[in-house]
Each structure stands twice: as C-alpha cells, then as structure tokens.
Structure 1
Amino acid sequence: MADGMARELWERYEPVHDLVYFAPEVRQEADALGMRGFWMGYFALRAAPLGAVPPAVVTSCFYVFHPARVTRALPDAWSYASPTDVLAARQEALDAVMTGLFGPDTVGSAAFAEAADLAWEAAAAADTAGRVLAAANQALERPDRPTARLWQGLTTLREHRGDSHVAVLVGQGLGPVEAMVLKAAAGESDGALLRETRKWEQSDWEAAGTRLRERGLLTADGSLTAAGAVVRAEVEALTDAAAEGPWSALGSERTARLAELLEPLAHTVESSGLLPPGNPVGLTRGSYRAGR
C-alpha cells in the first residue's frame, strides 16, 4: 500500500480528467465529428476505447445511467465517426484544452513531462482484471505529447478506480439508483442533478429510496441512518483499497511526487469555472464541492 494515497491522488486527477466532459474545445471537436449534442459526445468520447460495442455494454460499464440515456447516443454516434476517429479527436482536443488552460510554458516544462511519465507508469501497472473500462484505456498506445500522455494516463487510473467502485457497489447490493440516492443522502452530490442527468424517473428514485429504507440505510426524510453512514463509508474505503494497486507499484515517494505535480493543475481546473455545480462525481475538495 502506498500509504493509502489512492483517495488523495483521485482528488487531484479527477478534475484534470473531467476536462474531457466540460471544456468547450472538446465539445467543438465532438461537434466537428458530427456528434449531436452533449450526451452523444459524452458517450462516444468515453466509450471509444471499448470500440463500437452495443449500448448494453456501455450501460453496464458506466453503471449509473438509465439504458435510455445510452441508447439515445449509441450506436448512432458510430455512424458519424468511428471509435478510432473519436480517440484521435479527444487527444487533439485535450492537447488544446490543457495548453490553453495551463499555458504553453507549463505543458512544455520538465515537471509536466515528469507528471505525464509518472501517471503513465502508474496506469500501466494497474491490474485491469475485471475492470473493463480500465483495460480498454490501458491498451491504448502511449502518446508522444505530454498533454495527451498525462491525460490518458490519468484517465486509465480514473476508470480503474471507477471499475473498482462499481465492483464494490455490486458487492454491497447497491444498484445504480440506490448508489446515487445514497451518495446524495451523504451530501456528496446533488440528487436532482444525478437523477435528471442520468435520466431516471422520479418514481425510480423514490423506489430506490424505499428499498434503502427497508434495509435500514435511510430515514423517513431521506437522511442516512447510522447504518447507512457505515455502508457509505465502507463503500468508499473498499473503493480506495481496490484502487491502491497502481500507487503501490509506483511507490510512496514517486506517488507523493505525482500528487505534488498534479496539485497546481487540479487547482487551476477547479478555479477555472469549467466544472459544473452539483458535484456529480462526489469530490470532497475544489469547485465541485464549493458549488461553483
């Protein structure tokens, strides 16, 4: 164990990864490919490493989206651009985003290249058994440009953690909606935002709440019970533990160095105003948490 650094690293790489969803340059690239609206671009950009798989596969991997949200975007997206074209476009877009946001001097620096190499090494060391999104991202070729190399390495690590989180949720008997209701009840995300963006009906949300109350995890007013708080904490602790492998492989000293290098980048993203309010990913620091 790299001194339990999995959560600290996640808090730093998640904002950088999230540029792919919210930076206007990425949306422009997606539109140029023919993607029709935000959600078609979102699913195409994130699912492209999997190839042109059926919507059911993406629904399973992404876990919290209603199948109808996915099928509105896929497989139609692949009629406008192939996964290979989408992967190339997202590299170009992220290079433009990171160069513009962090500045050419920063992305051209030795420290930035060091961060890219450390992230890539940690991602390459990730155990992807049972982690489909992580495996698909890990299998991509190593980019030459430090911007693309850093973003892709962090994205592999992010999907590795996400796959681990899904495995923990399944093990805890928490389906997609129950998981979101529990997260909202813990105050980590805005419940209405999660329900609406993931395209679940209010009746689905209420039914999940009923199931959680029957398990003794929610009170009548929707707050966490003591047992619910224990389950929520256990989900996070197990996720952290399952995401620790890359940092154990990288070692404590170099993991701490990567965290140090990522800190100003994360702060820049968090201060940029690009991240939406509502904290859909449940970060506990930065502009998501502050409701920017």
Structure 2
Amino acid sequence: MGDGLARALWERYEPVHDLVYFAPEARRAADGLGLRGFWMGYFALRAAPLGPVPAPVVTSCFYVFHPDRVGRALPDAWAYAAPADVLAAREEAMDAALTRALGPDAATGGLMAEAADLAWEAAAAADTAGRVLGAANQALDRPRQAHVRLWQALTTLREHRGDGHVAVLVAQGLGPVDAMVLKSAAGESDATLLRETRKWDETAWRAAEDRLRARGWLEEDGTLTAAGAAGHAEVEALTDAAAEQPWTALGADRSARLADLLEPLVTAVLGTGLIPSGNPVGLTGVRRASPPAGTAGGTGTGRG
C-alpha cells in the first residue's frame, strides 16, 4: 500500500498484544502452570505456538536475547507444562485481561466481533513463508470468544511483522546487540533496560557500539549520525513494507476500518497503565509509569 497503514495498524495492535507481557493475569496464568519466574513464563507463553522447542530455536526467532537468558527457561518450561496447556492458559489470561481493560460490554459487543473478524481475515491471509513465529500463530485454532479471537489475530500479525523485521536486520548486517543499540540511540527504548533484560554484558554492548561507529552510524556520545538516522529510517521503512501484505489482502478500506475499531481499544489498554514507558518494543508514544523490574515486552519493530 505504501500509505503508512501498516505502521498505523502496528501502533494500534501492539499495545493490545503486549498485555500478554504486562497484564497480571498473564503472570498468574504462568504461575498457575508451575512455571518458575517471570522469564520462564515469558518464553513459554510466547513460544508455545512453536511446540516444545529447545532454547536455540527460540533464541533465533526472538533474535535479541542472549542465549543464556533463553536457556535458563527452555526447555525446562516444557517439563512443567506442555505447550498445549500453556496456550490454553494464555487464552484464559487474555480473556480476563481484555475483559478487565475494556469492560465486559466492549469485550462482547458487536464492534468487537467486527474487529475480530477483520483482524482474523488479515491474519489468515498473511504470507508466512520464512516467518516462523507468524506461521506458528497463524496455525492455531480460531478462538470462540471475539475478544480472544481479536487478540490472537493481532498476535499473529504482530509476529508476522516481527519476523519480517528480523529479516531486514539480517539483510542490513545488524546483529542482535547492534539492533538494540540502534533502537536505543534512536530514542525508541532505554539502553540499560534493553541490555539488562536481554542479558547482554557491557562488553558486548560496547562492541556493538564500535561496529556502528565503524559504519558511520553512531557518534562518540552514542547519538545517531545523519547516516545512522538514515539507516534507522530505512530499517523501519523496510519493516513497514514487509508488513503490508496482510493489509493489501484485506483491502485499504477494510484495513482503515479495523484501525478505527482498534483506536478505542488501544486507548483503553494504555489507560490501564500496564504498558510502561521506555518499553522494549519501541512504542515511543506510550507515556506511563517506569517499567517494573524484570519486564520483557516483545518485538514490534525491534523484535525484542
């Protein structure tokens, strides 16, 4: 489409998806399965569509996490709960979280059903060739409840976009830490939060900064050069372009209708205060309380 619709929709569906990271219902669901600690719950809840995969597969798909961060959670999580049980608990958690955030009337009303069906159609039409997380989520059964169906469809679209973003980063020669340094230098997230939550040490971070300086993208003070700003803009533009296909399939008018339907939902979700400022997904327009210790966030435009 090339009209900014892919990014406009991402800005609306990302906060709704992110409830799975920040809503207390998600943490209670993970705890109820016997998963140990925030990070085991995070990796299990997000990776469950892939099946009982080992840590290296998730490290590759999620891109920006240190292998040790993933390896402390997987495959041990699957000894506590099978992926099918994790998926069922995830649906229940999102049912409760969305009902609380939106109110029972909005969660079950006609506009929710319309939004859910439009999003599901776009997600079902998404080309998932080479997009492992998008494909795994697309293959899940259609939830009966409209608000849960909407959440799952938006999650499929979100992971589809994230898979495309990783492909862009690889093509641009930006490794996991390089991508996070670029994100923080662009003001999309906090450098310390990214480094510590993704479990990279300062040596790895400085090495990535040196690589970006060597290609002329980073100033000595850690800010972007003009070339770095242009490189960052190109990564974002290519990510948007790679995310357009589901919206082209849905059509401009129906995609715009979905964006309109999502607007009050994202306002309600942001109004809960659950999505923190400085969040790792790059939603710079979100201005909320500081993130609680140990929070994760997901990919968005930064696969992280």
Residues 189 and 284, structure 2, Cα contact 8 Å, conserved in 1: no
Moved more, 74-83 or 264-273: 264-273
Residues 276 and 286, structure 2, Cα contact 8 Å, conserved in 1: no
Residues 3 and 252, structure 1, Cα contact 8 Å, conserved in 2: no
1:117-160 Cα deviation digits (max 9, x unpaired): 01100000100000000000000011111121000000000000
Q: CA deviation at 1:100?
A: 1.2
Aligned counterpart, 2:92: 92
Q: Secondary structure at the match of 2:287?
A: helix
* Structural mapping, 1:217-232, within 5 Å: 217-232=217-232
Residues 64 and 176, structure 1, Cα contact 8 Å, conserved in 2: yes
Residues 128 and 160, structure 1, Cα contact 8 Å, conserved in 2: yes
Between the aligned partners of 2:236 and 2:131, the Cα distance in structure 1 is: 17
* Structural mapping, 1:132-281, within 5 Å: 132-281=132-281
Between the aligned partners of 2:145 and 2:58, the Cα distance in structure 1 is: 28
Compute the TM-score of the two structures, normalised by the length of structure 1.
0.98
Residue type at the aligned position of 2:94? L
Work out the number of aligned pairs and report it.
291
Residue type at the aligned position of 2:78? W
Q: Secondary structure at the match of 1:20?
A: helix
Between the aligned partners of 2:100 and 2:277, the Cα distance in structure 1 is: 22
Q: Secondary structure at the match of 1:287?
A: coil
* Structural mapping, 1:23-102, within 5 Å: 23-102=23-102
Over the matched positions of the two proteins, sequence identity in percent amounts to 73
Q: Secondary structure at the match of 2:227?
A: helix
Moved more, 60-69 or 267-276: 267-276
Compute the TM-score of the two structures, normalised by the length of structure 2.
0.94
Aligned counterpart, 2:103: 103
Aligned counterpart, 2:131: 131
Moved more, 267-276 or 251-260: 267-276
Q: CA deviation at 1:2?
A: 6.8
Residues 2 and 248, structure 1, Cα contact 8 Å, conserved in 2: no
Give me the CA root mean square deviation. 1.2
Residues 125 and 249, structure 1, Cα contact 8 Å, conserved in 2: yes
Residues 277 and 286, structure 2, Cα contact 8 Å, conserved in 1: no
Q: CA deviation at 1:278?
A: 1.4
Q: Secondary structure at the match of 1:286?
A: coil
Structure 2 residues not aligned, in runs of 5+: 292-304
Residue type at the aligned position of 2:77? A
Q: CA deviation at 1:108?
A: 1.1
Q: CA deviation at 1:291?
A: 6.0
Aligned counterpart, 1:5: 5
Q: CA deviation at 1:114?
A: 0.5
